[in-house]
Structure 1
Amino acid sequence: MAALLLALSVPATFAAGSDGVSPSTTDAVTLYAGGTVIDGTGAAPRANQDILVRGERIVAVGPHGTLEGARAAGVHTVDLHGGYVIPGLIDSHVHMATPPNAKRAQAILRRNLYAGVTAVRDMADDLRSVGELAREARAGEIPAPDIYYAALMAGPDFFADPRVGAASYGVTPGHSPWMQEINDKTDLREAVTLARGTSATAIKVYADLPPELVKGITAEAHRQHIMVWAHSAVFPTRPADVIDAGVDVVSHACYLAYQLEPVMLKSYEDHTPFHDALLAPRGDDPVIAGLYKDMLKHGTILDATGSLFVRYDAERKAHPDRKPLRCTGPTTTRLVRQAWKAGVPVSTGTDNDGGVDQVWPSVYDEIFFLAHDVGMPPLEALHSATLVGAQAAGQAKDMGSIEAGKLANFAVLSADPLKDIGNLHSIRLTVKRGHEYPRADYKPVTREEMGHDDDD
C-alpha cells in the first residue's frame, strides 16, 4: 500500500521515464527515404539512404529499401530523394540572458531552429531565465534548440562587471549559485555543489583566477561529474596552465596567443591587445604548437569563436573609432588554422546572436569562417558544427551524428553542402527530437521581438 501511495503521489512527469521526462505521447514511426546522408562523423556521404525514426530517436539508417519495419502499417514516409541530410547544427557559444529578455531569446532560438540548429551551449547568463528557456525548449513549448548551460566562477575583481549585475539581479554579485566569486578561502566542494544545483551542464571558469584555483575548481568539478568550460586564458592564468588544469573546452582561440606575451596581463579587465609580432613570422608558431600538443593530450576542445574577430575587423574599417579586440582577424584565423592542422577538435561557437536584420543564425558565419578563412573542407567544417559541438556540450551519446539510437536531430538541404558550404541556405526542413520544423513555416524575427536592435 505504501508503494502504491508513493507512486500515486509522484507527478506523472517524473514517474513515467527513467530520465525524469515523460515519454513522447506518440511512438509514431517516420521513414525519411532516399536522401544523401552526411552523418557528421567525417565519413564520406552516402547516397540513397533511409532514416527510420520512432518517436524522438533514430531506429536505423541504411540503403534505401533495406530497413526492417520501414514498410509496416502506419509508417509515414517523407521522400528525400535529391536532398541532403546533415546532423542538427550546434552553436557552442551563445548568451541567452545577459540581461534576461525572454522575448528576444525566443526569437533568436526560433531563427536557429528553423535553420537547422538543434542544440546550443549557453556560456553563462542569468540561469533563472536560461533554465526556463531550456525547459520550454526541451518540452517543445517553444520552437528552439535544446540548451545546455554553464554556471560561472571567477575571481573577486570580475564581479564589478555590470554584466554580472544584469545577470544576477536581486542577488549580491558573486553570491548567486550561477555566478560565484571564488577566492582562496572558498570551499570548492560547496561551490561546485551549488553550481550543480542550477542544473548546469558545466562550470565556466571565466576570469581573474590564479592557476591553483583554476586547477582546484576543475578537479572538484570533475570529482562531482560536471564538465568545465573555460576561457583559454583566465588572466592572470596563462593558457598552458588552463589546459594543464584539465578543463574540457577552452573558448576563444585569440586568448591562446597570450601564452607568448613575456608579461601576462594581471586581470581580465586589462584589454591590452595581443602583440602580433610575437608570433613566428612564417609557418606554425612553436609555442602555440606546444599548447595544441597539450590539448591533444588532455582531449581539450577548442571553441574558437573566430568569425567574431574577423567580422569586427571589417566593422572597424567602417568605424575606425572603435577600440580593437584582443586579436585581429588574421591572427585569430592563423591560430585556428594551426589548431585544425594539428588535429585539435574545433567546435563552432559564435558568441554573437546577430541582429534583427540577420536572416540566418550566427553559427552559419562560424561554419563559413572555418571553410573559407581557415580552409577546412566542408565535410570537416560540418563535423565541427555537429559531432564536435555535441562533444563540447557533453551530449555526444545523444546527438551530433546521424546514427541509430541517437536523437532524431537533423536538417534536410536541397543542395549539396560539400560542393558549396553556402548551400546550407538551401535548408527545407529541420527535425529535432523527431518533430518537424519546415523552413516554409519560419516566421522571421521582428524588431519588436529584438528590442534594442531597433536603435542599431
Structure 2
Amino acid sequence: MKTYKVWGVLVATAISLALAQPGTAGDTAAAGDTASARAYVGVSLIDGTGTPLQHDMGVLIQGDRITEVLPSLQLKARLPEGAKLVDASGHYLLPGLIDTHVHMATVPNREQAEAYMRRYLYSGITSVRDMAGDMRALAELARKSRLGKIPAPDLYYSALMAGPSFFDDPRPGMAAEGETPGAVPWMQAITSQTDMEEAVALARGTWATGIKIYANLPYAQVRRITKEGHRQGIKVWAHSMVFPAYPSEVVGAGVDVISHACRLAFEIAGVRPDEYHHKVALDFDALDTRSPVLGGIFEQMKNQGTVLDATLWLYANREQRENEKPKDKRSAGICPSAVAGAMTHFAYENGVDVSVGTDGMVPYDAEYPALFDELEVLAAKADMPPLQVIRSATYVGAKVLGLEDERGTIEPGKRADLIFLSKNPLEDMANMRSVVLTVKAGTDYPREAYTPITKTELGEIN
C-alpha cells in the first residue's frame, strides 16, 4: 500500500487526487477523484462537537461520505482494498465552515456572486445561508452550487416576509425587479388579513429552506407566520427585533434563529419603534448587557433551541469605519462592538447556541472572506473559547440549516465536508487563515488552485 505525503512547501504533484484547474474547479473530474476511497492519517482533529483536540487521528472518505474516524494506527489496519492512504501529518482537520448570514442577490449579478462564492469555497466554507434576495437568481445559484456545477459552497436561501410599509425600502425593490415588491412569493407583505396557509405555501414553493421575518410586524403576525411555517415543515428565521415586535416576543413566537445581537438592546432600553426605518439612537453606554431581561430571553432560547446569529463583525466593521471619519461626521447610534460582544457572551454563557454569520463582504481582493473576521471577533469580543467558536462555525451552522444530521461535524455517516489547516486555530483564531485544502462532498479544492477575484468578474465595484 502506498502512502502519499500531501503537503510540504508545495502541494505534491505525486498525489493521485488531481488539483482543480482554474476555470474548471466545479467539475468533479478536474477538482478531485470522488469515486475512490481515501484515508487521511496523522491529523490533529477538531471534530466540531466541542470535543478537545485529538492528535494523530485518521478519517476515511468513501464517495461523498465519512465512513471511519479512528486513531491513525487503527484506521491503517482496516483500510478497504485499494484505498489511498494520505499522510497529512502536521495538519489540523476541521469540518467545513458555514456562514449563516450572506446576501448574494440583493441586486442580482451572477458573475459577482459566483466569484465571491469561489472565494468562500477555497477558504473552507462549504455551506452558506442567504438571508433574502432575488429568488430567481438565488435558485439558480443554489442549483449550480449544490450540484457541483460551480466551485461554491452549497447555498440555502430564504423567502422574506415583512409588514407592507417595509417594502418602501429600495432593497426589496431591487430584489423583485420587474415585479411588485411584497407581492411575489419570495418577498411577501403580511397583514392580519393575509391567508397565512397560502403565504407559507408560496414561500415553500420557491424552494426556500426558511422564511425570514424581517420587519414592521407585531407579535401576533410573527407568531402566525412561525406557527404556520412550522406546521408546513419550513424553518423560520427572524431579526431579533422585528419592529414593533420585541426580541422576547420574537423568541416567544418560537422562531428557530434570531439575527443581530445589538437589536436585543431595544428591549433592555424599553424602546419600541414601530418601524425598521426609525431614527431612534440608543444610549448604548447606559445599557446593562447582563440585564435580567436579557437573561430571561436567553433562558427561553436555550430551552427551545433558538440560535443567535450574532453578526458581530458587522458591528465591528461599522465601528471601525465610523472611527475613521472626523468626529463631526460620525453617525449617531452606532452599536459598539464591545456591547454586541458582551450580549453575545451573555447568551453563550446561558447556553444559547451562537452561529457564525457575517451579513457583509470584505473587499474583493481580500485573501479570505469576512467569516474569518467574524471568528476572530467572536473570540475577542464575545470571549468565546476557540473550540466553541469552531463549533459555532460548523455544527451550529448546520443546525441553523436543519442539516445537523448531515454535516457540521466529523463523524461516520456525515457528508465529507472538511478543511485542512497548516496552523493550530486553538492557539490563535487567526490561524484559521491557513487553509491548505477544502473537501466538499468528497471533492477536493486545494487552496493552491484558487484563482483570486478580478475586477473584470465584478464589473463596477462599489
CA offset digits 1:378-417 (Å, max 9, x no partner): 1111011110111111111111100110010010011111
Q: Is the 8 A contact 2:323 2:330 kept in 1?
A: no
Structure 2 residue 347 is the aligned partner of structure 1 residue 362: no
Taking structure 1 as reference, are residues 25 and 365 closer, same or farther at Cα in structure 2, changes over 3 Å only?
A: closer
* Distance in 1 (alpha carbons) for counterparts of 2:456 and 2:159: 30
Match of 1:88 among 93, 96, 106: 96
Amino acid aligned to 2:245: T
Query: Shift in Å at residue 64 of structure 1?
Result: 0.7
* Distance in 1 (alpha carbons) for counterparts of 2:333 and 2:136: 30
Point out where structure 1 has 5 or more consecutive residues left out of the alignment. Answer: 1-23
Q: Is the 8 A contact 1:52 1:70 kept in 2?
A: no
Match of 2:201 among 193, 203, 210: 193
Amino acid aligned to 2:345: R
Taking structure 1 as reference, are residues 25 and 65 closer, same or farther at Cα in structure 2, changes over 3 Å only?
A: closer
Query: Greater CA deviation, 198-207 or 61-70?
Result: 61-70
CA offset digits 1:235-273 (Å, max 9, x no partner): 011111000000000000011111123341010111423
Amino acid aligned to 2:419: A
* Distance in 2 (alpha carbons) for counterparts of 1:57 and 1:69: 20
Residue aligning to 2:259: 251
Query: Shift in Å at residue 452 of structure 1?
Result: 3.2
* Distance in 2 (alpha carbons) for counterparts of 1:125 and 1:58: 33
Match of 1:207 among 187, 205, 215: 215
SS in 1 for 2:116: helix
Q: Is the 8 A contact 2:118 2:152 kept in 1?
A: yes
Q: Is the 8 A contact 1:164 1:173 kept in 2?
A: yes
Amino acid aligned to 1:295: M
Query: Shift in Å at residue 324 of structure 1?
Result: 4.3
Taking structure 1 as reference, are residues 378 and 169 closer, same or farther at Cα in structure 2, changes over 3 Å only?
A: same
TM-score, length basis structure 2: 0.90
SS in 2 for 1:415: coil
Structure 2 residue 34 is the aligned partner of structure 1 residue 30: no
Trace 1:68-87 onto structure 2 (pairs within 5 A): 71-87=79-95
Residue aligning to 1:336: 344
Q: Is the 8 A contact 2:142 2:155 kept in 1?
A: yes
Trace 1:137-176 onto structure 2 (pairs within 5 A): 137-176=145-184
CA offset digits 1:131-174 (Å, max 9, x no partner): 11111111111110011111000000011111111101111111
Q: Is the 8 A contact 1:192 1:221 kept in 2?
A: yes
Q: Is the 8 A contact 1:260 1:278 kept in 2?
A: no
Amino acid aligned to 1:183: T
SS in 2 for 1:242: helix
Residue aligning to 2:230: 222
Residue aligning to 1:402: 410
Residue aligning to 2:134: 126
Query: Shift in Å at residue 293 of structure 1?
Result: 1.2
Query: Greater CA deviation, 51-60 or 311-320?
Result: 311-320
**Count of residue correspondences:** 429
Match of 1:298 among 280, 296, 304: 304
Q: Is the 8 A contact 1:202 1:229 kept in 2?
A: yes
Residue aligning to 2:242: 234
Query: Shift in Å at residue 325 of structure 1?
Result: 5.5
Q: Is the 8 A contact 2:164 2:190 kept in 1?
A: yes
| Superposition RMSD in Å | 1.7
SS in 1 for 2:41: strand
Q: Is the 8 A contact 2:33 2:443 kept in 1?
A: no
* Distance in 1 (alpha carbons) for counterparts of 2:94 and 2:388: 12
Query: Greater CA deviation, 187-196 or 443-452?
Result: 443-452
Trace 1:406-417 onto structure 2 (pairs within 5 A): 406-417=414-425
Q: Is the 8 A contact 2:44 2:92 kept in 1?
A: yes
Q: Is the 8 A contact 2:319 2:334 kept in 1?
A: no
Structure 2 residue 143 is the aligned partner of structure 1 residue 135: yes
Query: Shift in Å at residue 276 of structure 1?
Result: 1.6
Q: Is the 8 A contact 1:31 1:70 kept in 2?
A: no
Identity of aligned residues (%): 46
SS in 2 for 1:59: strand
Taking structure 1 as reference, are residues 369 and 74 closer, same or farther at Cα in structure 2, changes over 3 Å only?
A: same
Structure 2 residue 325 is the aligned partner of structure 1 residue 319: yes
Structure 2 residue 444 is the aligned partner of structure 1 residue 436: yes
Trace 1:56-75 onto structure 2 (pairs within 5 A): 56-67=64-75, 71-75=79-83
Match of 1:110 among 96, 109, 118: 118
CA offset digits 1:86-119 (Å, max 9, x no partner): 1101100000001001111111111111111011
* Distance in 1 (alpha carbons) for counterparts of 2:422 and 2:139: 35
Residue aligning to 2:54: 46
CA offset digits 1:390-448 (Å, max 9, x no partner): 11111111111001100100100111111111111211000000000000001111122
Match of 1:287 among 290, 293, 301: 293
Query: Shift in Å at residue 307 of structure 1?
Result: 1.1
CA offset digits 1:35-92 (Å, max 9, x no partner): 1110000001111111111111111110113238853332122221111101101100
Query: Shift in Å at residue 25 of structure 1?
Result: 10
CA offset digits 1:171-224 (Å, max 9, x no partner): 111111000011111000000000000111100000001110000000000000
* Distance in 1 (alpha carbons) for counterparts of 2:321 and 2:250: 31
Query: Greater CA deviation, 136-145 or 264-273?
Result: 264-273
Amino acid aligned to 1:293: E
SS in 1 for 2:149: coil
Query: Shift in Å at residue 129 of structure 1?
Result: 0.6
Q: Is the 8 A contact 1:253 1:304 kept in 2?
A: yes
Structure 2 residue 360 is the aligned partner of structure 1 residue 345: no
Q: Is the 8 A contact 1:243 1:298 kept in 2?
A: no
TM-score, length basis structure 1: 0.91
